[in-house]
Structures are given as structure tokens and as C-alpha cells.
Structure 1
Amino acid sequence: MSLKRRAVSVATVAAATPLLFALLPAAAANAHGYVSAPPSRQAQCAAGVVECGPIKWEPQSVEGPKGLTSCSGGNEAFAELDDDSKGWDVTPVGNSLDFTWTLTAQHATSTWEYYADGEKVAEIDDGGARPGPSVTHNVDLSGHSGQTKILAVWNIADTANAFYACVDVNVGAA
């Protein structure tokens, strides 16, 4: 290979490298999980169902300290998830419901918690297990009816953090 061709080749690679890193998904470094079915608020943002800010590109990143009760996990960048008047799609459901989490990083899990309008309706103890790329829980909602906001919480076993997702449902409408 001539010196000129080698110089052009090196220059091309050097020019393309920053572009390659810019195009790689940033979520891989901070990816975790969210409720994908029924569609959580962040899943609706990611799908473009509701106009949202940066959560559109990071539905799996709603992380905050354990024990919070907000849809945003206390993360100001995702505060639109706490806005109940934003026009979220409401999923008609029966008296029990399967919640499916899409997990982009498999953390050791202590518990999964589900709250219906602030009342704990389910807790699943995972005892430190590392779930696969998705996990589904069936939750009994028979004590509720009508439009209900479900807060789903994934408590990580080996950190002080949890992942948060809110799902808007209409219990008894399916």
C-alpha cells in the first residue's frame, strides 16, 4: 500500500471513530429496566404516544433511591412522568393483570412492588436472583375499580436504588 493510500486510510478511520461512538446507544452504560406491558408512561414516551423530554430515549433509566412513590423516581429530568394530566393512554384491564418488565441490565433483585393509587397490592421477593431480559408478574387488582395509577417498583438487592414505572389502567373495563 502506498504511503498516500495509507495516510488516507488512517485519516478516514480517525475521522469516523468519533462518529461511531456518537452513534452507539448511550443507554448501554446506564441501562436497566421498565414496564413495557401494559405500556408504562415511559414506554408511551419512547413510542411517541405522548410527547415527552429525554425519557423518550431512556425509558429504562427511571432510577432513584428505594422508597419513593413518584413515577419519575425523583429524577427531575423525567418529571413529566409525574404529571397525571399529561394525556397518558389508559389500558382497560380485568381484575388481575400481567406486568412485563423489559430489562436491559440484569441486577440482583430483592423485591418487586406494585401499588394501586398508593396502596401496596403485591410484593414479589426475588431473594437476590438476577432475572433475564424480561420478567412478568401477575397482580391482583380486584380491590380496585375504574381509572387507577399503578406504581411498579424494582428494588435492586445490592444498591440503595430502585427502578420506577407508572402504568395507567382502567380496572374492570376489559
Structure 2
Amino acid sequence: MKRSRRDLAIVAAAAAIAPLVTVVLPATPANAHGYVNSPASRQAQCAQRVVQCGQIQWEPQSVEGPKGLRSCSGGNARFAELDNDSKGWRAAAVGRTVTFTWTFTARHRTRDYEYYVGGQRVAVFSGGNQQPPSSVSHSVNLGSVTGRQKVLAIWNIGDTPNAFYACIDLQVS
């Protein structure tokens, strides 16, 4: 099949413009994934403008990193502010048993959810390797801790090597 000069010129122009269009058009925001909405996690506080934060304020659901980390930012440098304990995070007043509610924008198959206080795992809930509904709640007994505490909540994905991370500041009575 013989191509005309005009057809070749159109193909060449499209090939030359394609990289430019990719750079010039705005990127669409991430459509993923999940965070603890209640009590308000650090990224929820950023999204609600309770605490002034960087990029996380526009995508609280995106704190994703490899499984096994123990940081609020999930090892993501863009969200390093979440690791700063002196940032002025508001602590929710709670008793020793707390209900944590996850909100999802993309529902991945779930291996499990883990909750840590002071580096110690205090609860784990199986996800049955199923997709969760749009929100999931867990009632977690924090044990004998009192006072100001930081809870690290982790949503371990079943179909990727990653997890989603959220830190929640609490005042436990």
C-alpha cells in the first residue's frame, strides 16, 4: 500500500506534536485510593485545612508506599509533612476503644488492615482478599495506653505490593 506525501506529512506532524501535548496538558489527579477519615487522620486534617500542608491537601487518599513501612508518609517524599509530629495535628479525644473509618476512592482487593501504637501492633483485621465497600470501620482496643498517642493505620493491598498509610493523633482518656 502506497502512502501519499500528504499522509506521511500528517503522521510526521502527529508524531512531533504528541510529546508536546503530553507535557502541556494538565495531569489528572490520582483516582486512588484510601485513608482514615474518622477520627480525622493527618491527611484528612490537611484536606480539611485544619493544618496547613503541601500537596497532600488535594489528595489525602494517595499516601501509598511499599508494604512493611512504619511512617505516616508511607515513605513518599511528597507527603513527608505527615511524618512531622510537631506540625500542630489536632488530637481527637477518645476512650481506649476507638472506631476507625476508612474512606476509599479506589477499592483494591484487601489483604488486611493493621493498627500500631508506639510501634506495637494492637489490631489486625482480615480483608479476605476482597474489594471493600466505599468505607470500612474497625473497632480497635488500644490497650492500656493513655494520653496523647499516634496511631499508624495501614491498609495492605491484596493485588499489589503496596499499602496505604494514615496516622491519627488521639488523646486517650
The two structures have a TM-score, normalised by structure 1, of 0.83
In structure 2, what is the Cα distance between the partners aligned to 1:77 and 1:171?
Answer: 30
Task: After superposition, give the CA deviation of every residue in 1:109-137 in whole Å (9 maximum; x if it has no partner).
Answer: 00100001211000001120110110000
Match of 1:85 in 2: 86
**Secondary structure in structure 2 of the residue aligned to 1:71:** coil
Unmatched tracts of structure 2, length 5 or more: 1-24
After superposition, the CA RMSD in angstroms is: 1.3
Q: Indicate the percent of aligned positions where both proteins have the same amino acid.
A: 58
**Secondary structure in structure 2 of the residue aligned to 1:43:** helix
Match of 2:55 in 1: 54
**Secondary structure in structure 1 of the residue aligned to 2:140:** strand
Counterpart mapping for 1:96-111 below 5 A: 96-111=97-112
In structure 1, what is the Cα distance between the partners aligned to 2:139 and 2:28?
Answer: 32
- For residue 139 of structure 1, what is the amino acid of its counterpart? V
Counterpart mapping for 1:18-167 below 5 A: 26-28=29-31, 31-167=32-168
- For residue 29 of structure 2, what is the amino acid of its counterpart? A
1:143: how far off? 2.1
In structure 1, what is the Cα distance between the partners aligned to 2:120 and 2:144?
Answer: 10
Total equivalences in the alignment:
149
- For residue 40 of structure 1, what is the amino acid of its counterpart? S
In structure 2, what is the Cα distance between the partners aligned to 1:25 and 1:66?
Answer: 26
- For residue 128 of structure 1, what is the amino acid of its counterpart? N
- For residue 64 of structure 2, what is the amino acid of its counterpart? E
- For residue 165 of structure 1, what is the amino acid of its counterpart? A
**Secondary structure in structure 1 of the residue aligned to 2:130:** coil
* Residues 112 and 76 (structure 1), Cα distance of their counterparts in 2 relative to 1, 3 Å cut: same
In structure 1, what is the Cα distance between the partners aligned to 2:28 and 2:37?
Answer: 19
